[in-house]
Amino acid sequence: MPLSDLTIRPYDPQDCDDLLAIWLAASRLGHAFLGEKTLLQQQLIVRDVYLPQAENHVALVGHIPVGFIGLLDCFIGGLFVAPAFHGMNIGRSLVEHVSPFKPWLELEVYAANPLAPPFYRKLGFHEISRRAKDVDGRPFELIRMRRDRQPQ
């Protein structure tokens, strides 16, 4: 169901607390296997490292942030939507918002995430590789996916 009052704009540092709350709520669904302690530690890294370094775009319903995408050049470092807004094409809208400006998009998702791999496949991403451990050396398989720029 599309939202008629959905807008996407560049990140403003004043969005930080809202985006961290979205990140944590969505991560509790998709990355529950990491455990709450790890998620809370990662949330600090998102705040201190990833949000400041990435090119972030924020999805709003009215004036309320409901999701965001963070890019490092053509790599999607994160795409998170508030769980109450899942299934409303917000994630798709964020990907399509940034796609025209990138020759391709790549990302990594946990294979154990029940939401992300099927979502990205529906958007035309395909698997290009896998690795057995995540960036912190934990035994959680990561899938690397890619989508070339879509024809206009």
Order of strands across the sheet with 104-110?
6-10, 55-61, 64-72, 75-81, 104-110, 142-148, 126-131
Question: H or E element: which one contains 97?
Answer: helix 90-98
d(CA 56, CA 101): 13
Residue at 129: amino acid letter:
S
Domains of the chain: 6-148 (3.40.630.30)
Q: Which residues of the chain have pLDDT under 50?
A: 1
d(CA 84, CA 150): 29
Tell me the per-residue pLDDT of 62-88, one tens digit each, with 9 for 90 and over.
999 999 999 999 999 999 999 999 999
pTM metric for this prediction: 0.92
